[in-house]
Amino acid sequence: MDQETFAAVDEFIGRTLVEHDQALQETLDDAEVAGLPQIQVSPPQGKLLQMLARLQGARTVLEFGTLGGYSAILLARALPPGGRLITLEANAEYAAVARASIERAGLGGVVDLRVGPALETLPDLAEEGAGPFDLTFIDADKVNTPDYFAWALDHSRSGSLIVADNVVRGGSLAEAASDDLATQAQRRLHETLADEPRVTATTIQTVGSKGYDGFTIALVR
């Protein structure tokens, strides 16, 4: 088994099971043309997020890390009429690309994109009384995942889901001595979850077009 196989299988799953349309294609194309990193969720993972949002009956979603808007569009499409997604992006150039794609997808009235480092824009959300969020997707700067998780948990309700991407990191999650700060943050996240009576959680390892990684899903009790 190798990366070529993982990518080919993701491509097959995407082609058979994952809806794709012009708005999504233009979202990916514009991000690429604008030079954004190609690190959006894979189509199969995006489909899972969409299905989780639907299973949840989510009306309010919070996303950390918009990039070009791909996952935001998928999640926003899973919302019922009147639903709302708030997405946080630190990079103003990425945010401008995302905003245009979200508008073109017809979701300008559903998606509320906030520009700035999330730890600086979260206090505004708190002040506005945003939430509780039915689903939170954490996919921004990985060193801050534990802080984003703590904030999301404080702005959740019983039954909310919190999903954190990129926690396995090529397997370094299991390395206690790792000197990678992003890895240490994911280890800390797991240790916090173990001691947190308000949630029950698991982590699923994945292979695919983006290599070997994984995501955590936490259910708020």
What residues between 20 and 59 interact with ligand SAH by CB under 6 A?
39-41
Decide if residue 166 touches Mg ion (CB under 5 A): yes
Write down the least CB distance from residue 216 to Mg ion, Å. Answer: 12
With CB cut-offs between 5 and 8 Å by kind, which of ligand DHB, Mg ion, ligand SAH, none does residue 118 bind?
ligand SAH
Decide if residue 10 touches ligand DHB (CB under 6 A): no
Decide if residue 166 touches ligand SAH (CB under 6 A): no
- Coil, strand, or helix at residue 177? coil
Decide if residue 140 touches ligand SAH (CB under 6 A): yes
DSSP letter for 155, please. Answer: T
Decide if residue 10 touches ligand SAH (CB under 6 A): no
C-beta nearest to ligand DHB: residue: 39
Decide if residue 139 touches ligand DHB (CB under 6 A): yes
Q: φ, ψ for residue 70 (rounded to 5)?
A: -60, -55
Strands in 211-220's sheet, in edge-to-edge order, are: 111-115, 84-89, 60-64, 133-138, 156-164, 211-220, 199-208
Answer positive or negative: Cα dihedral of 125, 127, 128, 129. Answer: positive
* One of 64, 139, 153, 215 touching Mg ion (CB under 5 A): 139
- Residue 96 burial by CB count (10 A; 0-12/13-18/19+): exposed, middle or buried? middle
Write down the least CB distance from residue 98 to ligand SAH, Å. Answer: 8
